[in-house]
Amino acid sequence: MPELNTELFKKIHKQITEHPEAHDQGSWEGKRPACGTTRCVAGWALHFATDGAEVFHRNEYSVVDAFSPEVEALAERLGVRMGSLHPGQIARPLLGLTGQEAAGLFYADDEQALTLVTLAATGRGIEFNDMATRLADPEDESDLVEPEEDDGE
């Protein structure tokens, strides 16, 4: 099982708590006139891991046409094959996540993601794993449901 990258989670936590307007789980990296660049947790992980580079390259019309060269180099260093990747596939090994943890974190809403980032940044890996795993598999409510009492019938 990979080990959570607490230091990277601390950077992300600081960013999204000090600038909540820049956190948007619905966008890997977006540009908004009112608040500047927004990113999801995966987007912030890539941004910090590349010393502040943009995640995507935009053409002269500001349309995303590829990952930035910095993110491509990072993926290569991590041994992640480029192709039809999304940022989460590169961010997963950076953050030290299992597949289920990544699914739970990257597809969480903003509030859930903030809770997960807080858990990871404060070294509460077991709680992080429990919550992320439940979010990844919402059908599995085995540990969320109280056992029914046998009424003797």
Dihedrals φ, ψ of 139, to 5°? -70, -25
- Kindly report the pTM of this predicted structure: 0.82
pLDDT band for position 108 (cuts 50, 70, 90): very high
- Judge whether residue 148 has pLDDT over 50: no
Could you report the per-residue pLDDT of 66-100, keeping only the tens digit for each?
788 898 899 999 988 766 567 888 999 999 999 99
pLDDT band for position 2 (cuts 50, 70, 90): confident
36, 22 contact by CB (below 8 A): yes
Rounded Cα–Cα distance for residues 146 and 105 (Å): 25
Most confident of 11-20, 30-39, 136-145: 11-20
28, 86 contact by CB (below 8 A): yes
Dihedrals φ, ψ of 66, to 5°? -175, 170
Could you report the per-residue pLDDT of 37-71, keeping only the tens digit for each?
888 999 999 999 999 888 887 666 566 667 888 98
Rounded to the nearest integer, the mean pLDDT of the chain is 84
Q: What's the average model confidence in pLDDT over 99-115?
A: 95
Map out the domains of the chain as residue ranges.
6-136
